[in-house]
C-alpha cells in the first residue's frame, strides 16, 4: 500500500485520546514530503520543562537542533522492535511504518536517524538564544542529566508539531 493511500486512513482518536488535527495534517505533510527512505535536513525543538531542575523551573528553556537525518528507514525486525537496532518505541506504536508513530496519549511523533557529525544545537532561555560554549554549559547545568544511548543507531523521536523540514 502506498504512503498516500495509508495517510488517508490515519486515526482521529487513539486509545480514547483525540489526535490533534493540526498534528495529523503535519504528519500527512511530512509523510508526503519524505515518501521513501531518504535523507533530509531537519530542525526540531524540545521543551525542557520536565527535565529542568527545581531551582531553575521559572525559566522557559527549549533546545533547538538541526541535522541531516535519515527518515523512512526500515531496519530488520523494526516493526517488532526489541530495542536492539534503534531503541524502544517508549509508549508509542507505529502508525505509518516507518515514518510516523503515535504515543499512547495520541500525540504524533516521527523517528529521525541523525548523522552525528551534522548535529548543531543551541538553547533558547526565556526567548533569548544561548549558543556560546560557556552559555550552553551553564544551561546544561540547569537540566537533569540524560543517560547516554546504548543503541547501535542514534535515534531521535520528535513530536511532529516540533519538527521542520529545511
Q: How many domains does the structure of the chain reveal?
A: 1
Within a domain: 80: no
pLDDT-derived band of residue 139, with 50, 70 and 90 as boundaries? Answer: very high
pLDDT for residue 61 = 94
Higher pLDDT, 78 or 98: 98
Higher pLDDT, 162 or 75: 162
Strand 163-165 with 100-103, pairing: unpaired
pLDDT for residue 63 = 93
Mean pLDDT of 102-118: 87
Within a domain: 140: yes
Within a domain: 139: yes
Long-range Cβ contacts of 97-105 (<8 Å, 24+ apart): 98/72, 98/73, 98/74, 99/3, 99/30, 99/31, 99/34, 99/71, 99/72, 100/10, 100/27, 100/30, 100/31, 100/160, 101/157, 102/11, 102/14, 102/19, 104/14, 104/15, 105/15, 105/17
Cα gap 77→85, rounded to integer Å: 9
For residue range 11-38, list pLDDT tens digits in order.
777 778 777 777 777 777 777 777 677 8
For residue range 88-107, list pLDDT tens digits in order.
677 888 777 777 888 888 88
Q: What is the mean pLDDT of the chain?
A: 80
Within a domain: 31: yes
Quote the percentage of the chain above a pLDDT of 90.
28
Residues 6+ apart with CB under 8 A from 4: 32, 35
Locate cell 505509518: which residue?
96
Q: Which domain holds residue 148?
A: 3-75+86-165
Could you tell me the pTM of the whole model? 0.77
pLDDT for residue 59 = 92
Q: Is the pLDDT of residue 122 over 70?
A: yes
Within a domain: 93: yes
Range scoring the smallest mean pLDDT among 4-18, 39-53, 124-138, 143-157? 4-18
Amino acid at each position: 500500500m502506498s504512503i498516500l493511500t495509508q495517510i488517508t486512513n490515519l486515526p482521529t482518536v487513539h486509545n480514547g485520546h483525540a489526535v490533534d488535527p493540526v498534528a495529523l495534517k503535519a504528519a500527512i505533510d511530512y509523510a508526503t514530503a519524505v515518501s521513501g527512505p531518504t535523507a533530509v535536513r531537519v530542525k526540531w525543538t524540545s521543551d525542557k520543562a520536565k527535565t529542568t531542575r527545581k531551582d531553575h523551573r521559572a525559566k522557559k528553556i527549549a533546545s533547538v537542533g538541526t541535522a541531516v537525518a535519515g527518515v523512512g528507514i526500515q531496519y530488520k525486525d523494526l516493526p517488532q522492535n526489541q530495542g536492539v537496532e534503534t531503541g524502544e518505541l517508549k509508549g508509542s506504536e507505529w502508525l505509518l511504518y516507518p515514518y510516523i508513530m503515535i504515543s499512547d496519549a495520541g500525540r504524533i511523533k516521527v523517528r529521525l536517524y541523525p548523522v552525528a557529525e551534522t548535529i548543531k544545537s543551541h538553547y533558547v532561555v526565556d526567548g533569548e538564544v544561548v549558543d556560546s560554549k560557556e552559555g550552553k554549559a551553564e544551561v546544561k547545568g540547569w537540566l537533569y542529566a540524560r543517560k547516554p544511548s546504548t543503541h547501535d543507531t542514534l535515534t531521535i523521536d520528535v513530536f511532529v508539531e516540533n519538527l521542520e523540514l529545511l
